[in-house]
Structure 1
């Protein structure tokens, strides 16, 4: 392998790499969305793609999310593989009718005659001092929908591999990119077109005392909390859920069977969140292994506040440490 095959990139650059790789290999892959062509996207995730692949494959759309979602469905039913970007997750609601009523149901509706090989990309989550509707973490809305995968990368390597897998998946995938860590870290990524498996949790750190379950940007604080706990003699196992629907319950249950304790961390509000489904799964499948109740560290059941109060809303390292101390003491 040549040196040029390995690149030190941020998460958003890894997204760009994956798109460029798949577009170069497969002419049926089409990118569309608001400002994705001329400007390279609001976060520059698609920068350079229009110059390389042309306007017919990298298309700017009107400011119309329902149109974006629906056009992608039409493309997919005719054999194309659209990757449609919503500028922010808070803008996706106008497209939910198309995504839920049509994209997720197309295979079932036509008894397998048609399917929707679509990736809907959206930057999501708080932490960048954005205005209203720019900091949504509403992955639970879509995790409830049969026929729709919901994938959340948490590092450059996983962004690259999971996006390739999402584009190649024959059914629709909602690919949520945690913009708070778009440029937070760099990682060596091998640009060889190898995908990572969907529907799989990733164990980032092994431990015997407590299982920490998280995804997206909160992986960063959770790993930092695990470092702090290690200094106290508490060995935390850290699991990145990565695909929040369908959920890899087996990995979660095996970890809890080993540690006997679980803390779930996510920045979405608590009520009806994906963390509640994970907690229920642990209660059903590993109840006799639990030495303490499952604890959730989450955002509040409020609208994401403006930037002056963002940090008070988002789970912090100390919040996670205190939750672990709580379950360890029981």
Structure 2
């Protein structure tokens, strides 16, 4: 076991995968010599050569297109989009080609590729470096969407994603790259502790795609969250003193409906938290799933705590960003319902 940041865990996952399988190739803008803007691929080009870890032109369309072609011909590409905000030029190929390749070819071809993208706010990156576009991918049949909340899961889920035979969108909350936090604007990043799952096994291991994790057991209500918001939800539960059960979804598609239903059926209340915009956000899907499957167990309406329905406001980031205070108010409202 080694104590790692999420950046180090992601790098180690790629390293382990490249060492085990020579078909794994890594590429994107500045990922080679420079090691990526967040250093997630630092040292990999030196270790594996420029034919397996290389820089690309500034062209998301090209990056995604090359990844699809490589996957179709038997390689296992791990492509990095420098920020999730930059993915839109390549979105057409993700939707029209990668997601549909297995089905349109009747299984003759697959697209075993991973598209890694830093996502979310918390670093004052402004409108073009802080978006959370997960709902754009969860809507697309044929894609799997993964968002880890800690180094242990980041490494295990990324290895699982690289070994999967279908295209996977792997979103990495950049606010968690160097350590956890509780969501307050004056709270610094702190080192990962063993309690926070900063301890990650050395070598190869996997975390199953499609399985949620209960981060905090409780009986009063259920909080559904993923990525950065898991830590915000945990802090809100502690600060309010409410006996909340906090579920880290880890994978949005496929969704672990069984764990969600078991928890909400037990607690009778549910609060959904994400930092993406509210309208048509993934929280709407979660609320619908809970209402459809747990209606007769619910003691109060399902509530959502989300970002605003506006472009990401640079100057107001920490108001846009759901924090423990806003989540805590929702928990209290749910308990009063």
TM-score normalised by the chain length of structure 1? 0.96
Q: Which runs of 5+ in 1 are unaligned?
A: 1-5
1:201 Cα deviation from its structure 2 partner: 1.2
Counterpart for residue 195 of structure 1 = 206
Alignment of 1:213-292 (within 5 A): 213-230=224-241, 234-292=242-300
Counterpart for residue 3 of structure 2 = 8
Counterpart for residue 313 of structure 1 = 320
Alignment of 1:39-54 (within 5 A): 39-54=34-49
Output the CA distance in 1 between the equivalents of 2:77 and 2:248: 27
1:228 Cα deviation from its structure 2 partner: 1.4
Output the CA distance in 2 between the equivalents of 1:305 and 1:205: 32
1:172 Cα deviation from its structure 2 partner: 0.3
Q: Is the 8 A contact 1:10 1:182 kept in 2?
A: yes
SS of the equivalent of 1:286 reads: helix
Q: Is the 8 A contact 2:126 2:312 kept in 1?
A: no
Output the CA distance in 2 between the equivalents of 1:54 and 1:165: 24
1:191 Cα deviation from its structure 2 partner: 1.5
Q: Is the 8 A contact 1:151 1:243 kept in 2?
A: yes
RMSD: 0.8
1:192 Cα deviation from its structure 2 partner: 2.6
Q: Is the 8 A contact 2:116 2:169 kept in 1?
A: yes
Output the CA distance in 2 between the equivalents of 1:277 and 1:132: 25
- Number of residues paired by the alignment? 321
Counterpart for residue 153 of structure 2 = 158
Alignment of 1:72-87 (within 5 A): 72-87=67-82
1:56 Cα deviation from its structure 2 partner: 0.4
Q: Encode CA deviations 1:115-150: one digit per residue, 9 max, x unaligned.
A: 000000000001101133110111001100000000
Output the CA distance in 1 between the equivalents of 2:78 and 2:203: 20
Q: Encode CA deviations 1:1-58: one digit per residue, 9 max, x unaligned.
A: xxxxx21111111000100001000000000100000100000000010011110000
Which stretches of structure 1, 4 residues or longer, exceed 3 Å deviation after superposition? none
Q: Encode CA deviations 1:244-279: one digit per residue, 9 max, x unaligned.
A: 112111111110000000000000000001100000
The reply on whether 1:56 has 2:51 as its aligned counterpart is yes
Alignment of 1:199-214 (within 5 A): 199-214=210-225
Counterpart for residue 3 of structure 1 = none
Counterpart for residue 195 of structure 2 = none
Output the CA distance in 1 between the equivalents of 2:30 and 2:318: 30
SS of the equivalent of 1:203 reads: strand
Q: Is the 8 A contact 1:229 1:236 kept in 2?
A: no
Output the CA distance in 1 between the equivalents of 2:100 and 2:254: 16
Counterpart for residue 118 of structure 1 = 113
